[in-house]
Amino acid sequence: MEAKNLWRFLVLSIGVVLVLLVTWLPNKEALDCNLYSGWCTSKNRFYSSAHPNNPIKKPSFSTYHHHKNQHHESEIPQHPLDPLTIQEFNKVRTILLNYPLFKSSSSYTLNSVVLEEPDKKLVLKWKKGDLPLPRKASVVAYVKGDSHVLTVDLETGQVVSQEAITWSVSGYPTMTLEDMVGVLEVPLKSTEFNRSITKRGVNLADLACLPISSGWYGTQVEENTRLIKVQCYSKEGTVNFYMKPIEGVTALVDMNKKEVLSISDNGQNIPVANGINTDYRYSIQKLNGGELRMLNPISLEQPKGPSFTINGHLVKWANWEFHLRPDPRAGIIISQAKVRDPDTSKLRSVMYKGFTSELFVPYMDPTQDWYFKTYMDAGEYGFGLQAMPLDPLNDCPKNAYYMDGVFASSDGTPYLQPNMICIFESYAGDIAWRHAECPITDLKVTEVRPKVTLVVRMAAAVANYDYIVDWEFQTDGLIRAKVGLSGILMVKGTTYENMDQVPNQEYLYGTLLSENIIGVIHDHFITYYLDMDVDGSDNSFVEVNIKKQETSPGESPRKSYLKAVKKVAKTEKDAQIRLQLYDPSEFHVVNPLKKTRIGNPVGYKLVPGATAASLLDPEDPPQKRAAFTNNQIWVTPYNKSEQWAGGLFAYQSKGDDTLQVWSNRDRPIENKDIVLWYTIGFHHIPCQEDYPVMPTVSSSFDLKPANFFERNPILGVPPNFEDDLPVCKARDSA
Amino acid sequence: MEAKNLWRFLVLSIGVVLVLLVTWLPNKEALDCNLYSGWCTSKNRFYSSAHPNNPIKKPSFSTYHHHKNQHHESEIPQHPLDPLTIQEFNKVRTILLNYPLFKSSSSYTLNSVVLEEPDKKLVLKWKKGDLPLPRKASVVAYVKGDSHVLTVDLETGQVVSQEAITWSVSGYPTMTLEDMVGVLEVPLKSTEFNRSITKRGVNLADLACLPISSGWYGTQVEENTRLIKVQCYSKEGTVNFYMKPIEGVTALVDMNKKEVLSISDNGQNIPVANGINTDYRYSIQKLNGGELRMLNPISLEQPKGPSFTINGHLVKWANWEFHLRPDPRAGIIISQAKVRDPDTSKLRSVMYKGFTSELFVPYMDPTQDWYFKTYMDAGEYGFGLQAMPLDPLNDCPKNAYYMDGVFASSDGTPYLQPNMICIFESYAGDIAWRHAECPITDLKVTEVRPKVTLVVRMAAAVANYDYIVDWEFQTDGLIRAKVGLSGILMVKGTTYENMDQVPNQEYLYGTLLSENIIGVIHDHFITYYLDMDVDGSDNSFVEVNIKKQETSPGESPRKSYLKAVKKVAKTEKDAQIRLQLYDPSEFHVVNPLKKTRIGNPVGYKLVPGATAASLLDPEDPPQKRAAFTNNQIWVTPYNKSEQWAGGLFAYQSKGDDTLQVWSNRDRPIENKDIVLWYTIGFHHIPCQEDYPVMPTVSSSFDLKPANFFERNPILGVPPNFEDDLPVCKARDSA
């Protein structure tokens, strides 16, 4: 990392901390936005796009604190699941400052400060107008090498529980942004490291380095040391430094002591790729004559405005209502998703809580500088922490609403992650349902309903990769969870400039993408936590197996047909499911005590999309840590502490606190409050089109009503009529 | 079918035929649109939607001939693959009228009259400005129980080849609309049939009947007789007669003689369901208080108009160019799809021809009145013939362009299938590519490009089911083929009104959807013909297998990684592929003689989406006939006669002319002109939400460039800027 930039960051951070200290600590009250507009940003901004001729300040990390107006500082929680407010963060911080554990320690890190959700039963009972439920914060702290989990009661101002975790499970808390940034300069203290870099012809001022979680492999050096590896790139001539790896130079760093433990310097003959035309910025493409204008503008227009309302964190749209909050680890948390039944006009519960619990991204190169790249992006880096401000008009269409995140930095002071989540209505020209009668029946009927959905989106850039996380709600009751992958490949330097130089027997672990650049094969797994509450908390998981049934002799001219056979899962192991194309099933979560008018149990089904399975050896250390990818589907009984599929302390964990471990206890799950888990997978063999920035690749799964409604719930929606649609003009002719 | 309606249809048909005879046969010239506006419809109509207060005539079968203006009658082919024009249809008809085979026969049927494509080599050489290639028509005729395939040379006016097919392969040609309509009244001639209907309490005037292809089961009655089964419904009180089956009454009809062969009458105790609230028409829903307005209007707006141009049948959009034509059997045929390389500005070939070759829809009920329901919708019914006029603003968004089909009726006279295909640009708010730098790297970069695509769509209503067929083109070179299923279930009558009445041991073959209605389990398979020409006609199929590789002791702290192993398919059997989640592969079509700058063979890959496999017994007669669903992927050498995966004569075929049979010849396919075949599958266990009309369910696959371009081909596209987007007003405030 460039020293100058680091300085800027540090100075800014210190400045912010000072402002906060001055402002809040003395009076513990709201910021005066007239005085301290820095912390005051708008709730719903419609930034002009970054037209190069008309540059408009867009949010970025260092300008977070310079937005106009905002009411975050005076926010008070309106719903038991609302995230901690700025006032609450500051209160927590004050309480902790006076708490013995921290008082006695000159250095500690708050790795996570988030709402401690009230008991589910209390939340379910709570309704608008009721007294607020007591507010608590859940804190993960790292003090003198030990991880602690604390609960802070915001009413009493007390720490009400504290647990030192070190000896019960392996692993460390999620890194803080300060951890990640802090380790980057460490290798530069090593002359050996600097010599390695310089020998490759890279100017130290051009260095861009990444903090790479080092996994866990059972070696001596990993015991009792919080490790990280640092690898660097050259940003000479491009912002796309990822395409200019300094291959084979790896610093192993002690994250606590901020000391280099070892430097390896392999592949000294591998040149740094030239990076020509890798800068993907529009301004640069235009400058270099690479601009490619192919399309007239197209826009989603809503002349009467969007159909959703957002009150605090409560979203209402069409027949849906749900609570939405940003989370530093999960990113987006959807809670209490309910859909209105057109027959009764009542809201009915579908899902109590849904979020991306963990990611696993193993690279398929076992060599020294690559084998450890087996990321768990949520538990190691914080999926929400990496969700950068969305780019209005491009990340989300015109009428999107933007929700900010407010998170705690490592000393507990709150900061703003502006525009972290967007909410918008989408219409792609698709069809919700249709039927046309054909000439055979001579009925003149054509009825078609356009399909409009509500999308909740964030985009997390975990260093090179960008994950676009969508929760899409349909009026027919379906929820689609979709992940789009874009961003930049993690590539490997090579001496080869052309495939004809590669000896026949040599395996590259990937694809030669450009001269001296290999895109290494890797997988992505995204594991979702889905606390389904279908018409109530107690549900059962039913596997509806579709199996070939042979007919008996004389029974039918047919030899075979497919028969649906239902099996209710009694215990967790019944619900450890690997998808089978040739032994397929539907996967239903039903409420066994609620039936439709004609007697079917009400339910939702999980409908997998295209996916990929982890094929690593189950005993391979990364796979043990990511054992939650051993199956695509799991069902566990609700347990407040089982939320993170790779363990609460995923960093450097040994795999002793994963979904696999919990599920193997084989607890009863029939007619219980159950949590459904599903993993989306991708195998990615890079191709040249992924260079220097990748077109988005997506996958998804659906939660789809299955005998939840008595009938198609959108039978009565009207078609589009010409009169409803807007009259538009081009801006330059308007 | 109601006799009155049949009469109307017949009178109208005769009228149309007379008009055509009078108009064209004498002068063989264009229609005068001032005189005969009936055949003149607009090329690109923007119908107002069917607002009940403001009803606007929408096209339907009986009004096809009443559109204003149109230039079809004066059309001349502009491209060798343009479909037959009205003038050409009439010329073919005249030629055939004088051809001995037809001259000597008092009754014959032309089951198909379509363009006979010129030799692929000639088409590939042809370019705009060249002399037109000789025009020929391919005719399938059914004369005195024999099927004939003829080629008519339109220049010489001669039949240049004729082949009687009867003894070489089994099966009959695709039914004509006249066949389908013609058989419906046949059962009504039987007093036994009428008695059965009346006994169920159904008024004969309320009958709505369907022509149901009877499959093939190797029985005596099937030999040398073109059979069809007729089952009927009551349309009393609803247009949704499908929900009021007269269960168990089946007439077996000789389609040629139009005679009832037998009537079966089972399940006489099964009442006809009441059909309450099954009428899905908006006007009726509104009338009955079922209207459900949940959303403000939303519209895809393009202030400067769409970015595509359509010249005849040639579509140009962004970096794509392709030929598009309606086909009575396939529906949509995409030809010569080419994408522009941003590096060279040259168009490069991707696919010579793509279309839905066949469908297979087996129902999973082996009982007497259901076992035979194993439809092959393209070969039996004509997928394109069933593609009803699209509903503007609902089937396709505002700026869609509509393309008509012109097909031949059974005596060879052309008729119009208006608005059969639409072409539009879609933007759902999605992201083509993005990257944001995160605080770790301290670079202030957020670059996002919105994703806009071009969609080509038709919606075929094969009686109850509606298939929405999309070909979606992306600027990054990807082609997505998507099928949406909507429409109405084929249901079975039952005595049960509630699941609690069903004995524990009884299996219903489906789901009780409403009182007296079972939604029977079924599958859908849609098989695509994809003549890939990746940068030229000669290509190879490469399976890139992703397999677990264990590391050697001491090689790495990792135990395993995934390795990509390429295998070039030498012969057809190497490319008979069943997808395997736990032994996955990528499937590439490469041009082995063309390499990228850095030496990768240029290619496209087939990326399957979520799918389902046929699990029927391979020896079950329906599965033998639909043996093309035995694998998901096949590759065959290009052979002009191998286009229809279930055989040219799929109706009542025995499975002797399927893709499986061709592929089993195991011909060489390496570095040849090859055709890729892919099948999308669905298992459908109906649920109450599918009643009385089904929310759309979709599946898709992608053809994705893989080292086809040197780099991301849309690196240079600009983001959205606020100035580009339109200024819109609600119509009522405009």
Instruction: State the average pLDDT for chain A.
Output: 91
Q: Among all chains, which residue has been given the structure tokens 């027997």? A: A505
Mean pLDDT, rounded, for A352-376: 98
CATH topology of domain A310-386+463-724: Beta-galactosidase; Chain A, domain 5 (2.70.98)
pLDDT at B9: 53
- Of the residues A465, A529, A604, A651, which is catalytic? A465
Residue B237 has pLDDT above 80, yes or no: yes
Mean pLDDT, rounded, for B274-299: 95
Of A195, A573, A174, A198, which Cα lies nearest the Cα of A378? A174
Residue B27 has pLDDT above 60, yes or no: no
Element (H, E) at A173: none
Of A716, A600, A2, A187, which Cα lies nearest the Cα of B292? A716
| CA B557/CA A620 separation, integer angstroms | 9
Pull the structure tokens for residue A689. 């089109």
Select the residue from A217, A307, A688, A699 to test the B interface by mutation, using most B Cβ atoms within 10 A.
A688
* Cβ of residue A290 closer than 8 Å to a chain B Cβ: yes
The pLDDT > 90 percentage for chain A reads 86
How big is the CA angle at B478 (ends B472 and B481), to the nearest 5 degrees?
40
Give the other-Cβ count within 10 Å of A55's Cβ: 10
Task: Of A231-245, B25-39, B232-246, give the lowest mean pLDDT range.
Answer: B25-39
User: CB burial class (10 A; 0-12, 13-18, 19+) of residue A516?
Assistant: buried
The total number of residues written for chain A in this structure: 734
User: CA dihedral defined by B491, B495, B500, B503, rounded to 10 degrees?
Assistant: -100
| CA A654/CA A649 separation, integer angstroms | 10
Q: Among all chains, which residue has been given the structure tokens 């079918």? A: B1
pLDDT at B169: 84
Alpha carbon separation from A125 to A130, A145, A639, A673, B146 (Å, rounded): 10, 40, 18, 15, 74
A718 upstream amide cis, omega within 30 of 0: no
Mean pLDDT, rounded, for A390-417: 96
The total number of residues written for chain B in this structure: 734
Residue A11 has pLDDT above 70, yes or no: no
Helix/strand/coil (H/E/C) assignment for every residue in A326-383: EECCCEEEEEEEEEECCCCCCEEEEEEEEEEEEEEEEECCCCCCCCCCEECHHHHHCC
Mean pLDDT, rounded, for A358-387: 98
Mean pLDDT, rounded, for B260-286: 97
Chain A residues within 8 A of B342 when measuring between CB atoms: 292
Contact A216, A626 (CB under 8 A): no
Give the other-Cβ count within 10 Å of B552's Cβ: 8
Chain A residues within 8 A of B584 when measuring between CB atoms: 612-613, 615, 683
Give the other-Cβ count within 10 Å of B544's Cβ: 18
pLDDT at B23: 35
The minimal CB distance from B717 to the residues A54, A292, A694 is found for A292
pLDDT at B599: 98
**Residue A516 in 3-state DSSP?**
coil
Annotated catalytic residue A582 = no
The minimal CB distance from B716 to the residues A290, A478, A488 is found for A290
Mean pLDDT, rounded, for A402-410: 96
Q: B46 or B23: which carries more pLDDT confidence?
A: B23
Strands (E), B399-537: 401-408, 414-426, 431-436, 446-450, 453-462, 465-474, 479-487, 491-493, 510-514, 517-520, 522-532
Element (H, E) at A594: strand A585-595
Residue B468: closest C-alpha in chain A: A431
pLDDT at A163: 81
The minimal CB distance from B551 to the residues A366, A461, A695 is found for A366
Element (H, E) at A444: none
The pLDDT > 70 percentage for chain B reads 90
Pull the structure tokens for residue A660. 């696999």
Name residues whose C-beta falls within 8 Å of residue B536's C-beta, 6 or more positions apart in sequence.
B349, B591, B593, B594
Of B4, B494, B489, B488, which Cα lies nearest the Cα of B246? B494
Say if the Cβ atoms of B459 and A734 lie within 8 Å: no
Mean pLDDT, rounded, for A442-460: 96
| CA A522/CA A365 separation, integer angstroms | 8
| CA A167/CA A169 separation, integer angstroms | 6
Chain B residues within 8 A of A302 when measuring between CB atoms: 296-299
Instruction: State the average pLDDT for chain B.
Output: 91
| CA B523/CA B490 separation, integer angstroms | 12
Residue B586 has pLDDT above 60, yes or no: yes
Mean pLDDT, rounded, for B299-307: 95
Confidence of residue B44 (pLDDT cuts 50, 70, 90): very low
| CA B350/CA A189 separation, integer angstroms | 53
Pull the structure tokens for residue A731. 């801006």
Residue B579 has pLDDT above 90, yes or no: yes
Chain A closest-CA separation from residue B319 CA (Å): 7
What is the tens place of the pLDDT at every residue in A633-677? 999 999 999 999 999 999 999 999 999 999 999 999 999 999 999
Handedness of CA A621, A623, A626, A630 (dihedral sign): negative
Chain A residues within 8 A of B521 when measuring between CB atoms: 546, 562-564
Of A313, A333, A311, which Cα lies nearest the Cα of A82? A313
pLDDT at B249: 98
Per-residue DSSP letter, A184: H
Alpha carbon separation from B438 to A184, A202, A417, B80, B378 (Å, rounded): 14, 23, 12, 54, 52
Of B621, B229, B268, B196, which Cα lies nearest the Cα of A556? B621
Question: One-letter amino acid identity for A504?
Answer: N
The pLDDT > 70 percentage for chain A reads 90
What is the tens place of the pLDDT at every residue in B106-153? 789 999 999 999 999 999 999 999 999 999 999 999 999 899 999 999
Mean pLDDT, rounded, for B666-690: 98
Confidence of residue A164 (pLDDT cuts 50, 70, 90): confident
Question: One-letter amino acid identity for A436?
Answer: A
Residue B31 has pLDDT above 70, yes or no: no
Give the other-Cβ count within 10 Å of B641's Cβ: 9
Pull the structure tokens for residue B551. 């590391």
List A431's β-bridge partners, or say none: A450
pLDDT at A199: 96
Pull the structure tokens for residue A469. 């996380």
* Cβ of residue B621 closer than 8 Å to a chain A Cβ: yes
Residue B24 has pLDDT above 50, yes or no: no
Alpha carbon separation from A712 to A112, B198, B348 (Å, rounded): 44, 31, 45
Confidence of residue B441 (pLDDT cuts 50, 70, 90): confident
Alpha carbon separation from A681 to A428, A456, B431, B678 (Å, rounded): 25, 21, 20, 22
Q: Among all chains, which residue has been given the structure tokens 């009687």? A: B164
What is the tens place of the pLDDT at every residue in A204-239? 999 999 999 999 999 999 999 999 999 999 999 999
Q: Where does chain A hold its CATH 2.70.98.20 domain(s)?
A: 310-386+463-724
What is the tens place of the pLDDT at every residue in B292-302? 999 999 999 99
Q: What is the DSSP string of A645-667?
A: TT-TT-BT--SSSSHHHHHTT--
Q: Where does chain A hold its CATH 3.10.450.40 domain(s)?
A: 177-287
| CA A677/CA A606 separation, integer angstroms | 10
Confidence of residue A112 (pLDDT cuts 50, 70, 90): very high
| CA A8/CA A10 separation, integer angstroms | 5
Confidence of residue B65 (pLDDT cuts 50, 70, 90): very low
Mean pLDDT, rounded, for B166-185: 89
* Cβ of residue B223 closer than 8 Å to a chain A Cβ: no
Contact B209, B196 (CB under 8 A): no
Residue A702: closest C-alpha in chain B: B697
Q: Which CATH number fits domain A177-287: 3.10.450.40, 3.30.1380.10, 1.10.10.60, 3.60.15.10?
A: 3.10.450.40
Question: One-letter amino acid identity for B197?
Answer: I
Chain B closest-CA separation from residue A160 CA (Å): 34
pLDDT at A32: 32
So which residues of B are the catalytic ones?
Answer: 377, 465
Considering only residues 431 to 490 of chain A, which have any Cβ-Cβ distance to chain B shorter than 8 Å?
431-452, 455, 459, 461-464, 466, 468, 474-478, 484, 486-488
Residue B38 has pLDDT above 70, yes or no: no
| CA A173/CA A183 separation, integer angstroms | 16
pLDDT at A70: 55
Of B337, B331, B463, B319, which Cα lies nearest the Cα of B403? B331
| CA A129/CA A84 separation, integer angstroms | 20
